[in-house]
Amino acid sequence: MPDLDLVIRNGTVVTAADSFRCDVGVRGGRIVALAEDLPRAVREIDAAGLLVLPGGVDSHCHIEQLSGMGIWNADDFHSGTASAAFGGTTTVIPFAAQHRGASMVDVVADYRERAQKAVVDHAFHMIVSDPSEQVMAELPGLIREGYSSLKLFMTYPLLRLADEQVLDLLTLARAAGAMVSVHAENDAMIAWTVQRLLARGHTAPRYHAVSHPRLAEAEAVGRLIAMAALVDQPIVVFHVTTAGSAAAIRDAQTRGQKVFAETCPQYLLLGAEDLDKPGLEGAKWMFSPPARDAGDRAAIWQGVQNGTFQMVTSDHAPYRFDDSGKLAAGAGATFKQIANGIPGIELRLPLLFSEGVGKGRIGLERFVELCCTNPAKVYGLHPQKGTTAIGSDADIVLWDASRVLEVTDRTTHDATGYCPYAGMTLKGWPVTVLSRGEVIVENGELTAERGRGRFLPRPAGEAARPSGRLAPELDPTRNFGAELL
Amino acid sequence: MPDLDLVIRNGTVVTAADSFRCDVGVRGGRIVALAEDLPRAVREIDAAGLLVLPGGVDSHCHIEQLSGMGIWNADDFHSGTASAAFGGTTTVIPFAAQHRGASMVDVVADYRERAQKAVVDHAFHMIVSDPSEQVMAELPGLIREGYSSLKLFMTYPLLRLADEQVLDLLTLARAAGAMVSVHAENDAMIAWTVQRLLARGHTAPRYHAVSHPRLAEAEAVGRLIAMAALVDQPIVVFHVTTAGSAAAIRDAQTRGQKVFAETCPQYLLLGAEDLDKPGLEGAKWMFSPPARDAGDRAAIWQGVQNGTFQMVTSDHAPYRFDDSGKLAAGAGATFKQIANGIPGIELRLPLLFSEGVGKGRIGLERFVELCCTNPAKVYGLHPQKGTTAIGSDADIVLWDASRVLEVTDRTTHDATGYCPYAGMTLKGWPVTVLSRGEVIVENGELTAERGRGRFLPRPAGEAARPSGRLAPELDPTRNFGAELL
Amino acid sequence: MPDLDLVIRNGTVVTAADSFRCDVGVRGGRIVALAEDLPRAVREIDAAGLLVLPGGVDSHCHIEQLSGMGIWNADDFHSGTASAAFGGTTTVIPFAAQHRGASMVDVVADYRERAQKAVVDHAFHMIVSDPSEQVMAELPGLIREGYSSLKLFMTYPLLRLADEQVLDLLTLARAAGAMVSVHAENDAMIAWTVQRLLARGHTAPRYHAVSHPRLAEAEAVGRLIAMAALVDQPIVVFHVTTAGSAAAIRDAQTRGQKVFAETCPQYLLLGAEDLDKPGLEGAKWMFSPPARDAGDRAAIWQGVQNGTFQMVTSDHAPYRFDDSGKLAAGAGATFKQIANGIPGIELRLPLLFSEGVGKGRIGLERFVELCCTNPAKVYGLHPQKGTTAIGSDADIVLWDASRVLEVTDRTTHDATGYCPYAGMTLKGWPVTVLSRGEVIVENGELTAERGRGRFLPRPAGEAARPSGRLAPELDPTRNFGAELL
Amino acid sequence: MPDLDLVIRNGTVVTAADSFRCDVGVRGGRIVALAEDLPRAVREIDAAGLLVLPGGVDSHCHIEQLSGMGIWNADDFHSGTASAAFGGTTTVIPFAAQHRGASMVDVVADYRERAQKAVVDHAFHMIVSDPSEQVMAELPGLIREGYSSLKLFMTYPLLRLADEQVLDLLTLARAAGAMVSVHAENDAMIAWTVQRLLARGHTAPRYHAVSHPRLAEAEAVGRLIAMAALVDQPIVVFHVTTAGSAAAIRDAQTRGQKVFAETCPQYLLLGAEDLDKPGLEGAKWMFSPPARDAGDRAAIWQGVQNGTFQMVTSDHAPYRFDDSGKLAAGAGATFKQIANGIPGIELRLPLLFSEGVGKGRIGLERFVELCCTNPAKVYGLHPQKGTTAIGSDADIVLWDASRVLEVTDRTTHDATGYCPYAGMTLKGWPVTVLSRGEVIVENGELTAERGRGRFLPRPAGEAARPSGRLAPELDPTRNFGAELL
């Protein structure tokens, strides 16, 4: 047995399936041994009393991105990925976001460049906001190069695609082998509500929640599922917040359709009432879809428990509460003039651990599955990422399940300047974080060199493969069918 | 007891609730007596052995309308309403169809003019294809004048409304007190499919069925239900054809939402295979949504039986099978260049009686409810129309339940020139038809004077009244609510 | 037109389908004319400003019956039917209740004898508690004689049948042509709960509600539906109280199974909290299944509105609050030693009118359908009873929709001595009641002769006819089928 | 690193979460290392090109058990466990089956004695057929000793429990900490059908399928779920065969109830038509519930795919096709006189691998989860059994995914003498099987010493812990609640 670079001793390894006590041996940045009594290595870490988890995979986060309103995220790729690392997340999949008219090749190149500062490994979803002929021609090549997932919007003025464009992109993804993730809300219901709210002078942040009716989400989720069923393309429904959406997703899964779904800690833990604060203070809790109420949170937890959701992601979208961010439109801003989003990349694991595992709602293995393994599987990063297995990258988090922490506006290391979870007490914290065998966070310090993070080209995984179940009209074996896909 | 103008003796009166043997006394065009042994009247009709039904109410039929393709219906208001009368239908609600840019006031005036030829009483649904500011301003007045129902399209290039327009019109209808009927299919799914079919050279009529996927209907029905739920406006889902749509409607009804629905005989009796004939012959069976298969027909019958559908209408939309109609685009026409629609106004009652009552699928009272009473109730014509009750118009059909008839291309009296049901044998036939106490069909002859039909102004009925169940976001009693409607 | 015995002038006749203003002419106890301006008759009643409703049909009431505990109902057939008449109910279907070992022929004869005192017309459901060979042999003959409905219990020690007995009786009913009504609660869940409650000393009336878990009802309803589906026999689910049961019934109806269902005013209006009074006072509100909570009441109202329930009946089961009734077991009685039931035969219509029609939950026609027409249809009494139609018995209620009444313990005319609805204010009241053309209640006085009520032999109606949809295992057209029914 | 006893080199380890190439090191019968390039060990096995799977865990099999008819299983604990081993199953959980009147302590002791011959490790479910006071007193102690699961029957004359007994045992299991598995079919529906079949002379094996209606299974599953919900006790639904049952289970899982379920290869692969052979030949395919048809198989596969079923077990219940087994009642036997059951312990993994993994219906990790990991987790054997992890028993199967095998009546090593899958071609086969590090099957030979298998005492696992979600009537925090559990 060749010498090991590193041994992590006596921890309890947790995978999506099992928990067991053993040493973890690392060589060349990969896990090469899980064993009792591994021989001494160059570097040794004592993990006695700690959990040894795979590094988190955050498959939904916005980093160094310009919002539709022309406002930059608070985080660049350094601060954003550093914050991720502090929270135990060692792989991120932010977005390469096309603005209308742009070449997707250029967009991707641009984001690759921005990510040169990253301290953890990263891939990109391509946000397609303008599927021009050029872009449609570029996409298959980009997918082949490892950008194997698209992100589409069904709402937002500058981002939303029409249904026919969605169908075109689902079909393209099917042919090219890519996953398709979608922000599903009915744009018209939102626009209709906004228009009436503003016309009646209801401009405060609290009306943000009113302006995104629950029905708008459930409707768009239903429509998306129908479109995906028509062309037999796997999809991921992003940030699900309502009982109605969860039910629609569960029904599709029951029928065997490949519908994956995620929710985020804010939909498990926050409520719309946070928006209702004096002045623009509520803007700190403004994100889309908005937080709902206790009934919805119960339904979303139920979906986490019964398997409707395969992933819990952050939807990290940080904006400073100043004129560079949330307050860019000034003190008189209406709720439509305030950037949507909150930070979350760092607390995702601690929040779900404390409220999920700690409160008996989910087990340890399920926690790993939701935060690490499934995001990697759904997006083609597994088994390189998302698990602790022989040959996988040595992305490892040593987790102290008993550490208690009071969250304040200064707890996290992102550049947002406030924390929407301030005031909560969490139990369970990542104490040491490794990426490819390198310690990147230790003793509360970032030890990673700027730019050490690597781009991860991804082939589409098994999850993105069509099911073969075709709508009867598209089924060439049927009377009236024709080969259309 | 003042003298009666007419007594119909010894028939069996059937209402939506009861069947009973009695004489029917008519005075001044209204039913004034249901009784045993009525005194002799000026005119006497012997109905022994016959059923005495309310005249049919056909709330979905296209008469003297120009299709989106610029092709006229085969029937004008004379032939169309005469055909209705022959089939036992004494009230029709065709469409006053706006083309884009037009004033709705003008459109309505125009259709009122066309209808001067009608032989039965009639009202109009207003098809809104262009809800311009002017039209939005005109509609409340027109609704007050008795045009108390709108018809909206979610598909077809020149007719379809965007979701936000649908919301605006639902809201307008709520405020003005009108029913809203909708052709619900997902336009993008159809367009996407059509584009691919044509690109691959699949142009024959049989591809019409392929181009309207079942999912396109179920999706749009679900979206429509969500939009109507948001603003709490009653709706009618037109011509439902699939199990999925029926299930979505049933679910909404179970929850207490005011969702009404109709199907048509073609969805109970015809199949997509009729489209698959040599050359363009299949065009004779081309209508939208298309006929489906045996499984769908069973599901639609089930909906007729379990109450999902309150109405069976005709969707009469006749086009001649020549260059004035189906073949206007010539022998090389693709399925997209052929006018959609079949005649049905005359056989609606005979088909449903023979296949429904005759085959034990529904009872007599349910037949009356589906074809006469409910269409009148849903659209504000009851109790003047749709029932046999004291004070109601004496619109009466004497029905011979034992008469057997072989349908041929020459059976009906519309101007279409062929019959999509040719070859079927039906049992049960209207032998004498009265409108406002006047015999308009007898011994197979039309005895009605051209233009005797009257316009029926309609207040919106109970069916069109909002339920009061508001979406939480619009509910002013909730934390985050606001009065938006 | 022969002379009329009676004319009711100028009222508004309401049927299950229509409302219209007219005179009602009666001859020989039957309705022979509905007309404007009927000629003068021997007797004239002015109904201007009043509704003219069909007499109520109460298809679920216990009269002069001995409970399983050996305690007599407070009402005999005179007081019970007089109370019905005062409340506008002119037809009752109480029970001929077999005790184990008895001949059903004897039981029926016995109840016929007791009913000689009745003031309104009546039929009987046969409660079968012991389907011995003798009884199974007697039943077809009794059904043919007009006792065309069985009542079965799935709970209660002396009444409950095992599943196999239920199957036998469903099959017998199918062959003989009878409807089967069922009290569906899981006996074991109740017994298990009772045993634990008593063992822990929880004996107060409030524990009655605990001892009948909601799940016990939903379970038994599901089981009953499955058994009825197996042998394709129509059923009536009695007194439904929970959302779960209503959903199971609705699902079966959606699939096309002939499952009818009723609820009762107590499940729409009362709550379990009434049981929680000092001492045994709560016993006044003790009935089975028990009243539930606000969520269940909302679900049951929803079922009344969406059609899940075809009937609202009383389940009148009066016991005096003294040692002849509720308190027979003394002051130390446990909740298991107190007779179950409340009076309700008189207030059924006023309660449903005031809370249903008056509060906009249901329309007038639906009120008539629920209380009069459907019970008659389901049990084979229509069109003789339950409607206002030519040839029907002149059972007529003149209803003053504007009369307001405060309910007290002295309001009703049954022999119970208290009223569970005391304190409520009702709007709408029956002011004059006729049975077969005879005024039996007028000016708050009973004018009916003791014993004038007649027995109503009933053929099974259309409702009781099997659907023809067989379970695959019993379907002789299937591979493995065999003709078993 | 201490010396290893054994290294399995270069195989692909598959767990429920991951697949990865590595060596497996074994010491003292346990897996102590998963690593690249392990040092040389005493024994080396080359697994290049092979899958390295955890040994199968068969949690539903009948071995050396006397049927209710008094007929012995063909297999004793030697042949049964040898057959298991040949098929790659290294842990079995057969039954310790109480006959009425017996002491459970004695029964368990008796089965422990019989199992002295076993070649693989084993635990026992306790079949309780007679929950006498004595047995109820014995059970908690036995559960504590490691017999932490009960098996209950809702059908079969000598085994079935009444609902109240089921509730008692669910409650006992809740308090003592045990899982409860149930054979759920409605006994009355079966008895009723059987009685009618036999009365009409329908005695052939094919009528076995008729006699177990699908509705009988769905009904009992629904009832069981309701009972378990009442007392909040986790359950396992055994051998699910119908779409209706699967839907009821899925619904309960969606609501968050702890309902686990299994199906068996026979319900995925066989059909009722196999019973329809000349004479008694069909008896070879007679088991309960019976195989159904293609629609049911599709529904059951769907349940395997969407997660409704956590486990695929064998329900191994072998009887020889001679007078010691199936034919004990002679050539004139009715279908009720023939022992129910087929062998399956050996082909379970090969069948599911070939038809599931091989045909693309499930992935490799899901195969391991269904056959190995989940049965161990549900019954408290994990992580000792059911996975390949550090510290787990070295129960390992080397699987040749490319080996093709034609099944004949001689393929398997049980004592049945025929094989219900004869004629099928399977791809994928266990070539070497290890139990606790010892090779027990190699080169088609059993190398295990008789009696080497060990008894596995099991604490109840996480799966058996109540959810804490109480029925409202049992919830002490509610108004009418009381602490009853």
Does the beta-carbon distance from B209 to A163 stay under 8 Å? no
Report the mean per-residue pLDDT for chain B. Answer: 96
pLDDT at B132: 98
Residues of A at the D interface, defined by Cβ within 8 angstroms: 1-2, 13, 15-22, 25, 27, 32-39, 250, 253-256, 302, 305-308, 363, 369, 373, 382-383, 387, 389-392, 462, 468
Q: What is the pLDDT of residues B439-457, one digit of tens each?
A: 999 999 999 999 999 999 9
**Lookup result for tokens 């017999």:** D147
Q: What is the mean pLDDT of residues A146-152?
A: 98
Q: Is residue B479 predicted with pLDDT exceeding 60? A: no
Which two tokens mark B405?
Answer: 């008839």
User: Beta D438-442 vs D425-435: how paired, if at all?
Assistant: antiparallel
pLDDT at C275: 96
Does the beta-carbon distance from D226 to C189 stay under 8 Å? yes
Q: What is the mean pLDDT of residues B405-409?
A: 98
Q: Is residue C301 predicted with pLDDT exceeding 90? A: yes
Find the closest chain A residue to B212 by CA distance.
Answer: A473
When mean pLDDT is compared across A235-239, A470-474, B82-86, the lowest value belongs to A470-474
Query: For residues A425 and C230, what is the distance between their CA atoms, to the nearest angstrom?
Result: 57
Q: Is residue B141 predicted with pLDDT exceeding 70? A: yes
Q: Is residue D475 predicted with pLDDT exceeding 90? A: no
Say what angle helices D133-144 and D163-176 make with each other, to 10 degrees: 30
Confidence of residue A1 (pLDDT cuts 50, 70, 90): confident
Find the closest chain B residue to C368 by CA distance.
Answer: B17
Residue pairs spanning A and D at CB distance below 8 A? 113
Q: What is the pLDDT of residues C346-357, one digit of tens each?
A: 999 999 999 999
Does the beta-carbon distance from A22 to D253 stay under 8 Å? no
Q: What is the pLDDT of residues A345-382, one digit of tens each?
A: 999 999 999 999 999 999 999 999 999 999 999 999 99
Across the interface, of C17, C32, C363, the residue whose CB is closest to B15 is C17
Whether chains D and B touch (3+ CB pairs under 8 A) is answered by no
Q: What is the pLDDT of residues C240-256, one digit of tens each?
A: 999 999 999 999 999 99
Q: What is the pLDDT of residues B353-390, one digit of tens each?
A: 999 999 999 999 999 999 999 999 999 999 999 999 99
Confidence of residue D481 (pLDDT cuts 50, 70, 90): low
C-alpha distance from B242 to closest chain A C-alpha (Å): 12
Does the beta-carbon distance from B164 to A219 stay under 8 Å? no
Find the closest chain D residue to A360 by CA distance.
Answer: D467
**Lookup result for tokens 């068969």:** D58
pLDDT at C2: 86
Percent of chain D at pLDDT above 70?
Answer: 99
What is the ipTM, given to two decimal places?
0.97
C-alpha distance from B290 to closest chain A C-alpha (Å): 12
C-alpha distance from C213 to closest chain D C-alpha (Å): 6
- Counting as contact any 3 or more CB pairs under 8 A, the partners of A are B, D
Partners of residue A308 in chain D, C-beta under 8 Å: 254
- The verdict on whether omega for the bond into residue B343 sits within 30 degrees of 0, i.e. cis, is no
- Counting as contact any 3 or more CB pairs under 8 A, the partners of D are A, C
Q: Is residue A12 predicted with pLDDT exceeding 60? A: yes
D68: nearest Cα among D165, D217, D187, D168 = D187
Element (H, E) at C230: helix C214-231
Which two tokens mark B437?
Answer: 């106490």
Q: Is residue C68 predicted with pLDDT exceeding 80? A: no
Partners of residue B384 in chain C, C-beta under 8 Å: none
Does the beta-carbon distance from C34 to B35 stay under 8 Å? yes
Q: What is the pLDDT of residues B84-138, one digit of tens each?
A: 999 999 999 999 999 999 999 999 999 999 999 999 999 999 999 999 999 999 9
> How would you write chain D as a 3-class SS string?
CCCCCEEEEEEEEECCCCEEEEEEEEECCEEEEEECCCCCCCEEEECCCCEEEECEEECCECCCCECCCCCECCCCHHHHHHHHHHCCEEEECCEEECCCCCCHHHHHHHHHHHHHHCCCEECCEEECCCCCHHHHHHHHHHHHCCCCEEEEECCCCCCECCHHHHHHHHHHHHHHCCEEEEECCCHHHHHHHHHHHHHCCCCCCHHHHHHCCHHHHHHHHHHHHHHHHHHCCCEEECCCCCHHHHHHHHHHHHHCCCEEEEECHHHHHCCHHHHCCCCCHHHHHCCCCCCCCHHHHHHHHHHHHHCCCCEECCCECCCCCCCCCCCCCCCCCCHHHCCCCECCCCCHHHHHHHHHHCCCCCCHHHHHHHHHHHHHHHCCCCCCCCCCCCCCECCEEEEEEEEEEECCCCCCCCCCCCCCCCCCEEEEEEEEEEECCEEEEECCEECCCCCCCCECCCCCCHHHCCCCCCCHHHCCCCCCCCCCC
Query: For residues A455 and B381, what is the distance between their CA atoms, to the nearest angstrom?
Result: 69
Whether chains C and A touch (3+ CB pairs under 8 A) is answered by no
Partners of residue D218 in chain C, C-beta under 8 Å: 226
Find the closest chain A residue to B480 by CA distance.
Answer: A210
Q: Is residue C90 predicted with pLDDT exceeding 70? A: yes
C-alpha distance from C259 to closest chain B C-alpha (Å): 11
Residue pairs spanning A and B at CB distance below 8 A? 140
pLDDT at D229: 97
Confidence of residue A474 (pLDDT cuts 50, 70, 90): confident
Does the beta-carbon distance from C18 to B383 stay under 8 Å? yes
Q: What is the mean pLDDT of residues B26-41?
A: 97
Does the beta-carbon distance from C20 to B383 stay under 8 Å? yes
Q: What is the mean pLDDT of residues A288-302?
A: 97
Across the interface, of B229, B273, B484, the residue whose CB is closest to A215 is B229
Partners of residue D480 in chain C, C-beta under 8 Å: 206-207, 209-210, 272, 275-276
CB-neighbour burial class of residue C277 (10 A; exposed 0-12, middle 13-18, buried 19+): middle
Does the beta-carbon distance from C222 to D223 stay under 8 Å? yes
Residues of D at the A interface, defined by Cβ within 8 angstroms: 1-2, 13, 15-22, 25, 27, 32-39, 250, 253-256, 302, 305-308, 360, 363, 369, 373, 382-383, 387, 389-392, 462
Partners of residue A20 in chain D, C-beta under 8 Å: 383, 389-392
List the domains of chain C with CATH numbers.
1-485 (3.20.20.140)
Q: Is residue B72 predicted with pLDDT exceeding 70? A: yes
Which two tokens mark C125?
Answer: 């459901």
**Lookup result for tokens 């017994």:** C191
Q: What is the mean pLDDT of residues C227-236?
A: 97
Which two tokens mark D478?
Answer: 């509610």
From the candidates C3, C36, C253, C369, which should be mutated to test the interface with B, based on the most B CB atoms within 10 A? C36
pLDDT at C164: 97
Partners of residue D17 in chain A, C-beta under 8 Å: 15-18, 369, 373, 387
Confidence of residue D70 (pLDDT cuts 50, 70, 90): confident
What is the CB neighbour count within 10 angstroms for residue C468?
A: 7
Q: Is residue B480 predicted with pLDDT exceeding 70? A: no
C-alpha distance from B379 to closest chain C C-alpha (Å): 15
Query: For residues B187 and B176, what is the distance between their CA atoms, to the nearest angstrom?
Result: 28
Q: What is the pLDDT of residues D263-305, one digit of tens each?
A: 999 999 999 999 999 999 999 999 999 999 999 999 999 999 9
C-alpha distance from C346 to closest chain D C-alpha (Å): 30
Find the closest chain D residue to A20 by CA distance.
Answer: D390
Q: What is the pLDDT of residues C320-332, one digit of tens each?
A: 999 999 999 999 9
Partners of residue C196 in chain D, C-beta under 8 Å: 484
Find the closest chain C residue to B247 by CA distance.
Answer: C254
Partners of residue D360 in chain A, C-beta under 8 Å: 468
Report the mean per-residue pLDDT for chain A. Answer: 96
Whether chains C and D touch (3+ CB pairs under 8 A) is answered by yes
Q: What is the mean pLDDT of residues B67-77?
A: 91
Across the interface, of D207, D230, D484, the residue whose CB is closest to C215 is D230
C-alpha distance from C336 to closest chain D C-alpha (Å): 16
pLDDT at C482: 59
C-alpha distance from B185 to closest chain C C-alpha (Å): 24
What is the CB neighbour count within 10 angstroms for residue D72?
A: 17
Does the beta-carbon distance from D255 to A302 stay under 8 Å? yes
pLDDT at D485: 81
From the candidates C192, C217, C255, which should be mutated to test the interface with D, based on the most D CB atoms within 10 A? C192
